[in-house]
Structure 1
Amino acid sequence: MKNLDAIADTLKGAMGLDMATVGSSLIERVVRERMAALQIDDDQLYLAELLNSGAELQRLIELAVVPETWFFRDREAMLAVARLAREKLASMPAGQIRILSLPCSTGEEPYSVAMALFDAGVPASMFRIDAVDIRTRSLEIAAEGVYGRNSFRGRELAFRDAYFTRHEGDWRIDERVKAQVRFSPGNILTPDFMRNSEPYDFILCRNVLIYFEREVQLQVVALLERLMKDDAYIFVGPAEGGIMLSPRLASAGIALAFGFRKRLPEERPAVAPPPRPVAPLAAPALPVARRAASAAVAVATQRMPPEAHVPQRLLDRARQLANQGDFARAGELCEQALREEGASADAFYLMGLIEDAGGDAAAAQRCYRKAIYLQPAHHEALLHLAALLQAQGDATGARSMRQRAERAEKSSRPQESAHG
């Protein structure tokens, strides 16, 4: 397909999706699907149609965006929103909490936040959730509020019994939850996106920044900062922590939530340090500065799963020290764990994070590769290694690692398809 690059550039300009990140095969597949629907055989003619038709561009976007979400995905962020909202409302009993879910996909995230707030005892009158997505089909599914088994993952499903009813083999969410969420279409890259919006107390913008190039990431982060109140919190995906760290934003220090807050005036450096390049898929591996690197390790290490045959006490202590910036001692404890119990994927992964934060990309890469050798489907190690390879200019190697990470994640999912 000789015009695939030009078509991909058009798509990227409209929604920020980088073909180098998702792979050319995905873009080519959705383009061919649209060409078949329009009965167009020449991709040059399709490119002309794409450039002249906003409706066709939206149809291509609808196919290119593949919704992948479920209720209470990374639930710590939802629970943190509920806890912090309750604390904030205690000092403003007549107020109302404003929450933004962006992108909201098929609605599982904003509905999860609403359920968490109800469980925390927050009355319906005291919070409102705005949910925005570029994909209109996702918004239709969200507004319908009916979900299949793939939207319910893990073992903690008490919320389903409390807030859903059976509906023709699927599950329909209660109207009291639906009433708290206001869905609307929107493209975060348009110049007037939410230009006149009031700022929010909480923003969830998770697992979307990783698909953008660095320049677009900075543009989106600046927009998100504008949408935050001075005491607001923003929550991002596990691989996006380093993208957020800046002279203006700091880690909120909430375990496993990947949350950030605006820095207080006294916390801001007098002169912002020059940022180091950050690869799209795992910015914690490329810190902005050493202080930011410590916070990036704090964010990234929080997601590491325990491994039974590793002396967990040593690794837990190593993570704590890494969070505090004591990389040398943290590394020593990792090495001690390896000596006492032998090779461990999680120990090598943590050592990779520590080397990343310390600025030794070569040592970090060696550690990530050891982790992957021991555990080929180690999702986080694959993503961080992809980021290092991308930063070194090895786009092919980075793409291979991302594809492996995607396969590893898919292999751990339930086989049922989500509703819609």
Structure 2
Amino acid sequence: MLGAIEQLLKDEIGLNSQSVGLSVIRHALKERMTATGIGDLHEYWSVVTRSRSELQQLINAVIVPETWFFRDRDAFSGMTGYARAHITRRRPIRLLSLPCSTGEEAYTMAMAMFDAGYGADDFTIEARDISSRNLEQAQLALYGRNSFRGTDLAFRDRYFEPVEEGGYRPNAAVLGRVHFKLANLLDPPEAAELGGYDIVFCRNLLIYFDRPTQDRALDRLEQFLAPGGLLLVGPAESALPIARGFASARLPMAFAFVRAPKTQPVEPPRAVTPAAPPAKPVARPAAPMRPAPPKKPPAVSRPLQPKESPAPDPRAASLASIERAANGGRLAEAREAALAHLAQFGPSADAFYHLGLVQDADGHPAEAIQNYRKAIYLAPDHREALAQLALLLQRQGDGAGARALNSRLDRMANRSGS
């Protein structure tokens, strides 16, 4: 029955259960069965397949937001720079945020446009999400500490007002530029209403789809764009648009793409890719399997001196156990340890990376690619995940995707001087 629930979510919203882990789906099921007072999974299946309202609540429970204002600042500076250079102002510039989650991205787009010198009449932002719960929070527009991360928070003084009950709300100018609506990227009726956007943010959604669904989504996103429009995706998704005929907009670290001219080949000829120089990370595929550094024995092993030993970090100890099992070739043990870590501690770049390694070694490349991408989403500069994903894409025949990742590795090496 759990498999039927997984298929239902895939059919409705394109969710690949392996991309989020079964623990997330089980948790969502538990939440909804408790809320509805249903104790039997078969009975819940009967309810959720008959009630669109309950299906929406299940989707809400599965979609867990993780966002904040000015997340990946280069994307927003790239957006405004591209708008000034390439988008004429014969009409208001149309922008789309999909998925918009709890609103932080869409409101950030408005703030960035204001900072770039655009007036309120110069642009409009449509914000779409598949979670009605997320949209309720976005329209409430009350944000606490978790939505403000990093050290540069000057924008909060410019665009937010403190609220008596605690938190901050965007000012009227920002609120007035964003329009929210429940929508599904893969839903044909909704897609028919969308189109002609100059800038589309679709970040960190494609990693939750399998490859055929990613292709469908990218085709839909291409239809949304006006001629000369700009598509921005997440760091872990940057190889996907290129494989579907997009071209890089050459905006550093913005992960931005434009539709390639139809006269150009969709994908470069499949020439043999020269081996990378030894100094480059991808030329050291064995590096990710390096032994874990020695760790101090946990405090419980020295009962006579408990105060002299620091309390062990359970998260670090869990990650170390995954790495030891993977390095020792105990694939089943490493897989179970990684899944247990994700269930207990939540998303982790290193846990997803090691899970990808195990799946790669165990002959499951599609699952490995998904987990490498999730690791890169959480840690865009995770060199080992980037290198392993590049190698795997090359083996799968995705030369364009591999070259894009290798280029990122080269840029990272140049920045760090290594």
**Same fold flag (TM > 0.5):** yes
CA distance, structure 1, for counterparts of residue 236 and residue 246 of structure 2: 16
Unaligned runs of 5+ in 2: 295-315, 324-347, 380-418
Equivalent residue in structure 1 for 2:100, among 97, 104, 115: 104
**1:30, CA displacement in angstroms?**
1.2
Alignment correspondent of 2:192: 195
Alpha-carbon distance between aligned partners in 2 of 1:88 and 1:395, rounded to the nearest angstrom? 39
Distance 1:225 1:178, change over 3 A: same
What is the alpha-carbon distance in structure 2 between the residues aligned to residue 136 and residue 150 of structure 1?
Answer: 20
Residues 258, 46 of structure 1: CA spacing in aligned structure 2 closer, same or farther, 3 A cutoff?
A: same
1:267 matched to which residue of 2? 264
Query: In the superposition, relative to structure 1, how do residues 385 and 218 fare at CA in structure 2: closer, same or farther (>3 Å)?
Result: farther
Aligned residue type for 1:367: A
Instruction: Give me the whole-angstrom Cα distance separating, in 2, the residues matched to 1:172 and 1:402.
Output: 36
Code of the aligned partner of 2:138:
A
Instruction: List aligned pairs for 1:218-257, cutoff 5 A.
Output: 218-246=215-243, 248-257=245-254
How far has the Cα of 1:265 moved from its partner?
A: 3.5
Q: Offset of 1:389 from its aligned partner?
A: 5.2
What amino acid maps onto 1:4 in structure 2? L
Structure 1: state its 5+ residue gaps. Answer: 275-288, 292-324, 336-349, 356-362, 410-420
CA 166–327 in structure 1, closer or farther in 2 if over 3 Å, else same? farther
Determine if contact 1:20/1:395 at 8 Å carries over to the other structure.
no
2:127 and 2:106 map into 1 onto residues whose CA distance is 7
AA paired with 2:192?
R
User: How far apart are residue 246 of structure 1 and its match?
Assistant: 2.5
**Matches of 2:209 and 2:376, distance apart in 1:** 17
State how far apart, in whole Å, the 1-side matches of 2:31 and 2:191 are. Answer: 32
The one-letter code of the counterpart of 1:369 is M
Q: Displacement, 1:243?
A: 1.4
CA RMSD of the aligned region, Å?
Answer: 3.4
Which position in structure 1 is the counterpart of 2:86? 88
CA contact (8 A) 1:382 1:402 kept: no
1:198, distance to aligned residue in structure 2 (A): 3.0
Residues 374-408 of structure 1: per-residue CA shift (max 9 Å, x gap): 99799767656655654563489959967995998
Determine if the alignment matches structure 1 residue 126 to structure 2 residue 56: no
Residue 351 of structure 1 pairs with residue 281 of structure 2: yes
Question: Which protein is bigger by CA-based radius of gyration?
Answer: 2
For 1:124 and 1:371, locate their aligned partners in 2 and report how far apart those are by CA, in whole Å: 56
Conserved 8 A contact 1:70-1:150: yes
Partner residue, 1:367:
287
Counterpart of 1:278?
none
Q: Which residue of 2 aligns with 1:159?
A: 155
* SS across alignment from 1:193: helix
Q: Where in structure 2 are the equivalents of 1:382-397 lying within 5 Å?
A: 390=359, 393-394=363-364
Q: Is the 8 A contact 1:372 1:382 kept in 2?
A: no
* 2:192 aligned counterpart, secondary structure: coil
Q: Write the distance in 2 (CA, Å) between the matches of 1:115 and 1:371.
A: 46
Hey, what's the Cα distance between the residues in 2 that align with 1:234 and 1:182? 19
Over 3 Å counting, the alpha-carbon distance change for 1:195 and 1:370 in structure 2 is: farther
Task: Determine if contact 1:389/1:395 at 8 Å carries over to the other structure.
Answer: no
Shift of 1:266: 4.1
2:356–2:369 contact (8 Å) kept in structure 1: no
Distance 2:122 2:292 in 1: 47
TM-score, normalisation: structure 1 = 0.70
Task: Choose from 52, 60, 63 the match for 2:58.
Answer: 60
Letter in 1 for 2:122: M
Alignment of 1:145 with 2:141, yes or no, is yes
What does 1:8-47 correspond to in 2, within 5 Å? Answer: 8-47=6-45
Q: Residue 129 of structure 1: SS of its match in structure 2?
A: strand
Displacement of 1:371 after TM fit?
10
Call closer, same or farther: CA 1:405–1:84 in 2, change over 3 Å: closer
Q: Residue 252 of structure 2: SS of its match in structure 1? A: coil
Change (3 A) 1:135 1:9: same
State the one-letter code of the partner of 1:248: G
Contact 1:22 1:211 in 2 (8 A): yes
Is 2:145–2:167's contact at 8 Å kept on the other side of the alignment?
yes
| Structure 1 consecutive aligned stretches of length 4 or more whose deviation exceeds 6 Å | 371-382, 399-404, 406-409
CA contact (8 A) 1:197 1:227 kept: yes
Please say if residues 207 and 370 of structure 2, whose CA atoms lie closer than 8 Å, have aligned partners that are also in contact. Answer: no
Percent identity between the aligned chains?
38
Structure 1 residues 395-404 or 193-202, which shifts more? 395-404
Residue aligning to 1:294:
none
Match of 2:333 in 1: none
Structure 1 residue 258, shift from structure 2 partner? 0.6
2:5 counterpart residue number: 7
2:415 matched residue in structure 1: none
Match 1:78 to one of 71, 76, 79: 76
In structure 2, how many angstroms separate the alpha carbons of the residues matched to 1:156 and 1:112?
A: 14
Q: Across the two proteins, how many residue pairs are aligned to each other? A: 328
Greater Cα shift, 259-268 or 197-206 = 259-268
Q: Structure 1 residues 191, 198: CA separation in 2 closer, same or farther (over 3 Å shift)?
A: closer
> Structure 1, residues 14-70: CA drift from partner, whole Å, max 9, x if none?
112222121111111111221122222211111111111111110000000000000
* Deviation (angstroms), 1:370: 4.2
Give me the whole-angstrom Cα distance separating, in 2, the residues matched to 1:128 and 1:407. 28
Cα contact 1:385–1:398 (8 A) shared by 2: no
1:405 to 1:260, Cα distance in 2 relative to 1, 3 A: closer
Could you tell me which amino acid in structure 1 is paired with residue 203 of structure 2?
Answer: R
Q: How big is the shift at 1:121?
A: 0.3
Instruction: Give the 3-state SS of the residue equivalent to 1:33 in structure 2.
Output: helix
Query: Given residue 13 of structure 1, which amino acid in structure 2 is its aligned partner?
Result: D
Contact preservation (8 Å) 1:78, 1:116: yes
